[in-house]
A and B are shown apart, each in its own frame.
Chain A
Amino acid sequence: MGIEALLAALRQDPRFMGAVTHWEVEPARPASWAPFPEAIAPGVRAALAARGIERLYSHQAEAVAHALAGRHTVVVTPTASGKSLCFHLPVLQRLRERPGSRALYLFPTKALSQDQVAELTALVRALGSDYRTYTYDGDTPAEARRLLRDGGHVVVTNPYMLHTGILPHHPRWTNLFQNLGYVVIDELHTYRGVFGSHVANVLRRLRRVCAHYGAQPVFLCASATIGNPRELAERLLEVPVALVERSGAPRGERHTVLYNPPIVHAELGLRASAVEQVRRLVRRMLPFGVQIIVFARSRNEVEVLVKYAKDAAARAGLPAEAVAGYRGGYLPRLRRRIEQGLRAGEIRVVVATNALELGVDIGALDVAVLTGYPGSIASFYQQAGRAGRRLRPSLTVLVGRSSPIDQYLLRHPHELLYAPREQTVIDPDNLLIKVNHLKCSVFEVPFGPGESFGTAAPPAPAAPGGARHDPAAPEVAALEGGPRPDETRQILEYLASEAQLLHRVGDTFYWMAQAYPAEGVSLDTTDVDNFIVYDLERRCVLGEVDRPSAMTEIHEGAIYGWQGEQYLIERLDYPGRRAYARKVQCDYFTQAELDRSIKALAVDAEARFATYEARRGAVEVTTQATLYKKVRFYTRENVGAGEIHLPAEVLDTTACWFTLAAPLAARHGLFGPQAGALLALRNLLQHTVPLFVRCDPRDICVWSEVRAPAWGDRPTLYLFDRMPAGSGLAERVFAAHRAIFATMLAVLRDCPCPHGCPGCAGVELEIGPGAKPIAQRLLADLLADDAADGRAPSPGRLELPAGTPG
């Protein structure tokens, strides 16, 4: 029994091994130690010794030395390598030297901060001091708030509270800001995309408030392994940052297995479903007594897999409580219970979304099973890192899906295992985000003459040295459009003269409005305007759903999964933001279908080729849920349908789109029987873009129209950003689109299926017979023509991913 026995059994299982495309073993690694830095006071050292820490890992010593020297630092380490000591030690040392000093700890979520507070409090106790560590979040009672504002030596909070609770009210926090020595930012890698861009702006505000009080804190950051930790830190902090990246912590042997589900229908190119394969794997592994974490892509998938795993647990003689789901939308108390159950070993299987990627303390697990490639290499390692924190072997199984990107990586395992991690990109200068935080910042401290919000010129991204193996390299190239000019003044002037939110006296801008700007700004677009799902029987709240998802997840008639149980949405009070659910026994789940229209508002760039035109600009996307299908568990057959009557969602965003020349379209029959080839291109585009632009696949949407009225009734392929006002994805795709087309073509050529499969163009049923070869010829035609006029991006600068025939 145990992980060793499981590994041996799998190796001897011909059926399992038949689906394995790659099995990687990394040997165990011993610890590397270093002495305490000289500057650490003997008392602090003694306190650590009392906690069983006699010496430091090399990376801890290095980070502490940087921090004590006043250098902003980012530490990159795997989970459970003792990174928190890298913060605690300099913070305690400084408190020792200057008892009035203060530190601020930022964690991306509440849950993470609780673990850290416990650790720091234990250290302080061992030190025999009364430095006080307080958590400031939405749960902190009002009386405690005053106490911690004045007396908390270490204030632990999250970006949301910093954004709405602390910065706007900084006069009540003068003690903190005047004496702020260190700002600790943990889980730096989670500050990416839209959220990261918001947080970068919150940090700009933090620096302005510190400057108001004359404080210059040192920033200490920690990040999981990503491609560009220093660059990310420097973009977030807008100052030079020292990097500590060689971990001195020991690690057990790691097994990474890439598993491609067998083809079940050769003609259609259909593979067994990844979810189904995961179900079998879990059933196979459970009897070995290992603790398993299963990652699924969507909330729906989590619920389906929890149900499967509970069935499997029952068969293995385990109680139903040994299986749990863990996803966004569960209430905090339930999450805490699950985390404890995992640490205590009572929960043997947890099925999670990427909500558990973060450093939530759930103890050591033995096996991680990934249902499909999680969308980025960094995510892949984060999820895999959940297994094997102890000095024991661990196993990660990536079960591939039929999608082009999964199939591509399973065929090229080195792209996954040896490629440099992707660049994590944020766009602190996204206009919507920047304007919103600029408003908050003026509210906090008036803007004086010549002051700018953020650096005008962000540090240039490091040139990718080993770009040959780096699928993200084209994106980096695409980023080098040069820094945007500083817009601060123009925005301030607009906010004063037209929006009348600011008052200008000479060259200084003051907030002068009754509104409270931080209230209207959500850091991740999901924490505002949520729907509550209410259980009619138990009379309690089951969970929350964000507004854009409501039309597909909690429309009337929808089946809402919760902890493996099914709830029927009986009524949706749309204006009241409430859904009423009743637990039901049913053998199906629901899937909604969408209708969409895209209106271009402005074209910001255009490139004309003989066979197509590429454009990017501002669009208005109107999305409407039309009907839903009932899909049976296990067999996935369609057992019914219903209509959805809900208001349309309107999104103002940025997009790029490609309009094909009419003769080309006519030649390939796109207006007639071969319209499906456009769907094939759309499927390919959706799945290929994440190889070029580091983003969550759900951050982008693709759409197509065979006869786009705005574009001369010609076939048009759209890609738009899900973030209101756009997060810069459309620009990058526009710049890199020739390379993306080339990879799409390569995917089609590489795939052996004759008529299209989920691993390339989509299934024949969807795209129609003959669409795959048409799509292939179309792409070849699009790429053949190299002579663009207009402001075309220069394709020469883009590098293709390795293994991609040009």
Chain B
Amino acid sequence: MNLREQLRRLVPPAPPSPQPGLPRQAARPEPPAASPPPLLPVASAERIELRGPPGARYFVRTLRFAPEARHGLRQLGELAALDVAWLAELADAEPVPGAPGSPVFLDVETTALGGGAGVYVFLVGLGRLEPSGWLLEQWLLREPAAEPALLAELAARLQGAALVVSFGGRSFDARMLADRFRLHRLPSPLQRRHHADLATPARALWRSRLGSCTLQAIERQRLGIARTADLPSALCPQLYFDWLRRPGEELAPMAPVLAHNAADVLALPVLALELAARTRRGTDPAERLGLGQHWRRRRRWEASRRELERSLALDRSPGHAPLAARERAILFAELGRVYRRLGRYAEAARAWAELLRLPEPPLEALLALARLAEHRTRELVLAEHAAALALSLLRRRAARLPAERAARLQAELVRRLERLARKRAAAAAAAGLRSRPAGPSAG
């Protein structure tokens, strides 16, 4: 066997390229920019340039949209009034102090998802509002040797931006780019502090109702955007590989990928505007609850309390879709947690006590209530109720918990119930009263 035959046995040749098929269909009638939404006017101007010396070239595609261009529920020009500081705060970031530029919206496509030195960021999409309108730029790697030049240009463009906005970009886009910058030993322009990843607040707000919180699910159900003929992300790398191996400079085969990336970037300003507006003045109790949890995770106790109380008020007032029973249990559990944290023990006890009346109360909250009522608010009867309910729940759910933990909790609860009974008897004796047994007894 010669070397080639041996290699064929060891590393199978690739199957014939799937060139005809889905991509062609997706690419068919649309001009490159047009796959996004019917509501959005076609780009008013598209420019495509091939830059770099032979062997190290990359494409830059620029699309301009009028400020009045409508996308989903919003006009792109509304961005001018976006409260950038608030958006940043929501996403645990901060704008660059004194930065002249507006926020930039970022999304990248990579040759694989896993990361590593051999995974290329082959397409970077960057959008921002300029005085003349909305500008979308896309950098597409034609030859891998162009990467340093492409990255340098991207870095220059990011320079001076007040905030980088992405969806899921802190854990993906920024990390992938950071790897590329480090690989070429270039300073990375992306700083975690100034990167607002909207996925976290969006999920906090909508997860309980949407189930799937992908960007496209959010677009469809919360932003009024309907993508048509969108290429699934998973197919982008293969289309890119096929295009790389084609001779010539024709960009058309990459149109579906460019369109997909453009759609991802274009959804970001709409998402930013909606998030900012709904978190400022929304009237949906479920969203307030999600936001309250969001702040609680950040240890922003006062902000969390405000939102949770708002949720409770909205839930009780007519004219708003009420919370589901499961959500209400979460709300009281969260309220109790935040009050306790703020040292407002009596209110914490009241919030948690509401749980005793609900089906399926969270076990953790009952345990916390038993502790709080016994030691802080000294409501022994309430403590006994909570502990007894926790014990019965624990017995029902024991199979779902690790055996060791279930046994430990159970022993703890039994001890607590015994202690509470003693304390109550002592208190009754001290008060000269006959104690009346309350709730199920310890067993």
A residues in contact with B11, CB < 8 Å: 435, 439, 494-495, 499, 501
Q: Specify the main secondary structure of chain B where it touches its partner.
A: helix
Which among A169, A446, A494, A515 is the interface contact of B7 at CB below 8 angstroms?
Answer: A494
Which among A506, A508, A512, A604 is the interface contact of B1 at CB below 8 angstroms?
Answer: A604
By the criterion CB–CB under 8 Å, are B118 and A442 in contact? yes
Q: Which of B108-116, B314-322, B353-361 contacts A (4 or more CB under 8 A)?
A: B108-116
A491 located at the interface, meaning its Cβ lies under 8 Å from any Cβ of chain B in the complex: yes
Which among A445, A490, A517 is the interface contact of B3 at CB below 8 angstroms?
Answer: A490
Q: Given that A443-B116, A445-B117, A500-B14 are contacting pairs, would A512 and B241 also be in contact in the complex, using a CB cutoff of 8 Å? A: yes
By the criterion CB–CB under 8 Å, are A652 and B9 in contact? yes
B244 located at the interface, meaning its Cβ lies under 8 Å from any Cβ of chain A in the complex: yes
24 contacting pairs across A/B (C-beta < 8 A): A168-B116, A168-B118, A169-B115, A171-B117, A171-B182, A432-B10, A487-B3, A490-B4, A498-B7, A498-B8, A499-B7, A505-B145, A508-B144, A508-B145, A510-B118, A510-B120, A512-B111, A513-B112, A516-B114, A516-B116, A517-B118, A601-B1, A618-B1, A652-B9
Residues in chain A within 8 A of chain B (CB atoms): 168-172, 174, 431-432, 435, 439, 442-446, 487, 490-491, 494-495, 498-501, 503, 505-506, 508, 510-517, 601-602, 604, 617-618, 652, 725
Assembly CA distance A494 to B7 (angstroms)? 8
Assembly CA distance A517 to B111 (angstroms)? 13
Assembly CA distance A617 to B1 (angstroms)? 9
A residues in contact with B302, CB < 8 Å: none
By the criterion CB–CB under 8 Å, are B112 and A171 in contact? no
19 further A-B pairs in the complex, CB-CB below 8 A; given A172-B179, A499-B12, A499-B13: A168-B116, A169-B179, A170-B183, A171-B180, A431-B10, A435-B11, A439-B11, A490-B4, A491-B7, A498-B13, A498-B14, A500-B14, A500-B17, A505-B145, A512-B120, A513-B111, A516-B116, A618-B6, A725-B6
Residues in chain B within 8 A of chain A (CB atoms): 1, 3-14, 17, 55, 111-112, 114-118, 120, 143-145, 178-180, 182-183, 185, 237-238, 241, 244-245
Q: Given that A494-B7, A503-B245 are contacting pairs, would A171 and B179 also be in contact in the complex, using a CB cutoff of 8 Å? A: yes
B residues in contact with A490, CB < 8 Å: 3-4
Closest-CB distance, B238 to chain A (whole angstroms): 7
A residues in contact with B244, CB < 8 Å: 503, 512
A508 closest partner in B (C-beta)? B145
Closest-CB distance, B247 to chain A (whole angstroms): 12
B residues in contact with A652, CB < 8 Å: 9
A445 closest partner in B (C-beta)? B117
Assembly CA distance A168 to B182 (angstroms)? 14
A residues in contact with B143, CB < 8 Å: 505
Assembly CA distance A172 to B178 (angstroms)? 9
By the criterion CB–CB under 8 Å, are B144 and A446 in contact? yes
A residues in contact with B55, CB < 8 Å: 505-506
By the criterion CB–CB under 8 Å, are B111 and A431 in contact? no
Assembly CA distance A604 to B13 (angstroms)? 23
A517 closest partner in B (C-beta)? B118
Closest-CB distance, B150 to chain A (whole angstroms): 14
By the criterion CB–CB under 8 Å, are A443 and B118 in contact? yes
By the criterion CB–CB under 8 Å, are A444 and B13 in contact? no
Assembly CA distance A515 to B238 (angstroms)? 11
Assembly CA distance A501 to B12 (angstroms)? 11
Closest-CB distance, B236 to chain A (whole angstroms): 10
B residues in contact with A494, CB < 8 Å: 3-4, 7, 11
A residues in contact with B4, CB < 8 Å: 490, 494
B56 closest partner in A (C-beta)? A505
Assembly CA distance A171 to B177 (angstroms)? 11
Among A445, A505, A506, the one with the most B-chain Cβ atoms within 10 Å of its Cβ is A505
By the criterion CB–CB under 8 Å, are B183 and A171 in contact? yes
Q: Given that A508-B145, A513-B111, A514-B237 are contacting pairs, would A431 and B6 also be in contact in the complex, using a CB cutoff of 8 Å? A: yes
B54 closest partner in A (C-beta)? A506
A173 closest partner in B (C-beta)? B182
Assembly CA distance A168 to B178 (angstroms)? 15
Closest-CB distance, A100 to chain B (whole angstroms): 16
A residues in contact with B238, CB < 8 Å: 514
By the criterion CB–CB under 8 Å, are B12 and A172 in contact? no
Assembly CA distance A423 to B116 (angstroms)? 38
By the criterion CB–CB under 8 Å, are A499 and B182 in contact? no
B residues in contact with A445, CB < 8 Å: 117
Assembly CA distance A513 to B119 (angstroms)? 8
Closest-CB distance, B392 to chain A (whole angstroms): 27
By the criterion CB–CB under 8 Å, are A510 and B144 in contact? yes
By the criterion CB–CB under 8 Å, are A174 and B182 in contact? yes
Closest-CB distance, A546 to chain B (whole angstroms): 21
Closest-CB distance, B197 to chain A (whole angstroms): 18
Assembly CA distance A431 to B238 (angstroms)? 28
B residues in contact with A510, CB < 8 Å: 118, 120, 144
By the criterion CB–CB under 8 Å, are A505 and B144 in contact? yes
A510 closest partner in B (C-beta)? B144
A residues in contact with B17, CB < 8 Å: 500
By the criterion CB–CB under 8 Å, are A170 and B117 in contact? yes
Assembly CA distance A232 to B118 (angstroms)? 31
Which among B9, B10, B183, B241 is the interface contact of A513 at CB below 8 angstroms?
Answer: B241
Closest-CB distance, A75 to chain B (whole angstroms): 33
B residues in contact with A516, CB < 8 Å: 112, 114, 116, 118
Assembly CA distance A510 to B147 (angstroms)? 12
Closest-CB distance, A6 to chain B (whole angstroms): 46
A residues in contact with B115, CB < 8 Å: 169
The 7 closest A-B pairs by CB, nearest first: A443-B118, A500-B14, A511-B118, A498-B13, A171-B179, A171-B183, A168-B116
A620 closest partner in B (C-beta)? B9
By the criterion CB–CB under 8 Å, are A444 and B117 in contact? yes
B residues in contact with A491, CB < 8 Å: 3, 7
By the criterion CB–CB under 8 Å, are B10 and A725 in contact? yes
B9 closest partner in A (C-beta)? A652
By the criterion CB–CB under 8 Å, are B241 and A500 in contact? yes
By the criterion CB–CB under 8 Å, are A435 and B117 in contact? no
Closest-CB distance, B1 to chain A (whole angstroms): 4
A434 closest partner in B (C-beta)? B10
By the criterion CB–CB under 8 Å, are A169 and B10 in contact? no
Assembly CA distance A445 to B144 (angstroms)? 12
Closest-CB distance, B96 to chain A (whole angstroms): 24
Closest-CB distance, B121 to chain A (whole angstroms): 12
B residues in contact with A498, CB < 8 Å: 7-8, 13-14
Closest-CB distance, B167 to chain A (whole angstroms): 22
Assembly CA distance A444 to B118 (angstroms)? 6
Assembly CA distance A508 to B56 (angstroms)? 11
B6 closest partner in A (C-beta)? A431
A residues in contact with B14, CB < 8 Å: 498-501
B118 closest partner in A (C-beta)? A443
Closest-CB distance, A651 to chain B (whole angstroms): 12
Which among B1, B5, B144, B182 is the interface contact of A503 at CB below 8 angstroms?
Answer: B144
Closest-CB distance, A128 to chain B (whole angstroms): 33
By the criterion CB–CB under 8 Å, are B241 and A503 in contact? yes
Assembly CA distance A427 to B254 (angstroms)? 44
Closest-CB distance, A433 to chain B (whole angstroms): 10
Which among A435, A500, A503 is the interface contact of B10 at CB below 8 angstroms?
Answer: A435
Assembly CA distance A602 to B144 (angstroms)? 39
Assembly CA distance A491 to B116 (angstroms)? 22
Assembly CA distance A491 to B180 (angstroms)? 26
Closest-CB distance, A224 to chain B (whole angstroms): 33
Assembly CA distance A169 to B10 (angstroms)? 25
Closest-CB distance, A206 to chain B (whole angstroms): 13
B residues in contact with A170, CB < 8 Å: 117, 183
Assembly CA distance A516 to B4 (angstroms)? 23
A residues in contact with B3, CB < 8 Å: 431, 487, 490-491, 494
Among A508, A516, A618, the one with the most B-chain Cβ atoms within 10 Å of its Cβ is A516
B3 closest partner in A (C-beta)? A490
Among B7, B8, B116, the one with the most A-chain Cβ atoms within 10 Å of its Cβ is B116
B residues in contact with A503, CB < 8 Å: 144, 241, 244-245
B residues in contact with A617, CB < 8 Å: 1
A487 closest partner in B (C-beta)? B3
